[in-house]
Amino acid sequence: MALLAVLVAAASCKSQYDALLASNDVDEKYKGAFEFYNNGKYQKAASLFESMAFLTNGTSREDTVQYYWGLSNYKYKDYYTAETNFAKFLENFPQSGFAEEAAFLRIDCLYRSTLRYELDQSPTYSCMTAIADYFRDYPNATHVDECNAMLKDLNDRLDLKAFESAKLYYKMEYYQSAIVALKNILKDDSENIYREDILYYIAMSSYKYAQMSVPAKQRERYMAFMDDYLNFVSELPDSPYRKELDALYARAQRAIGRYAGTDEMLEKSEKDFARERQMQAE
């Protein structure tokens, strides 16, 4: 009997929903849509709000229906459809009392659609543009902290993508291309969060490019490495990369006849660095 009662209740609910969906009675649809929404039946609520969009056109309920259509899809985790709903809502009702919240929820939908740094970052740029619009349109916005956290994450992701893309040239041993790509990152974005690593790989690429060059080009290229080394240590004297680069700098000096120390001193420096790196790995 209990199972029969459940089945009857389920059938009744289904028939009530279908009847509301087919109805042109706006008051009943409106009441029913909010009942489904308040009971967590977001997919059904979204369909009912959608079915009312035309019926409430030009009425006092129009913006409420449009907003809750998007909100129901958002709660149902259909972020793609919800973003479309909120974008249309903001276009049609920029002065609505729901507008700021719709703008933030649209941003959240866009943020959830962004991809890992290895993939296309077009959704990232779309989300960042929406955040900029939100800050412009709502100077006293209530979601500033959440948007700033999203913005930081998106910027960090772009920094990582730029760094990893340039570092790929280094891994493939295209050192000249690596130097150009890494320096271009800092030219475009001097505050890249991977700045220390970028400067390190510039210096490493420069050294290896010189090392692999024909003898006639080595002096010039070792001197270019020395410039990159000096740029690095002047900015980051306490970097964990320092000892490795110090050893390479001594080698470059010796290669062009400027090394003032002995071979034993150079060998000791390299052994100390190798020992330290092994200890860090362990």
| CA pair distance 92, 276, nearest whole angstrom | 64
Are residue 114 and residue 187 in the same domain, yes or no? Answer: no
Let me know if residue 189 belongs to a domain.
Answer: yes
Are residue 90 and residue 183 in the same domain, yes or no? Answer: no
- Residue 145: the pLDDT is 96
With left for phi above 0 and alpha for psi between -120 and 50, is residue 35 left, alpha or beta? alpha
Let me know if residue 13 belongs to a domain.
Answer: no
Q: Which residues contact 222 (CB under 8 A, 6 or more apart)?
A: 207, 210, 252, 255, 256
CATH classification at residue 44: 1.25.40.10
Domain extent, residue 235, equals 167-281
| CA pair distance 263, 251, nearest whole angstrom | 10
Let me know if residue 62 belongs to a domain.
Answer: yes
| CA pair distance 261, 268, nearest whole angstrom | 11
**What is the b/e burial string over 204-213, where b = at least 16 CB atoms within 10 angstroms of the residue's CB?**
bbbbbbbbeb
Span 80-111, pLDDT tens digits = 999 999 999 999 999 999 999 999 999 999 99
Identify the CA nearest to 71 among candidates 82, 63, 81, 61: 82
Are 232 and 245 in contact, with CB atoms under 8 Å apart? yes
Identify the CA nearest to 33 among candidates 22, 47, 23: 47
Span 107-151, pLDDT tens digits = 999 999 998 888 889 999 999 999 999 999 999 999 999 999 999
Q: What is the pLDDT confidence band of residue 8, given thresholds at 50, 70 and 90?
A: very low
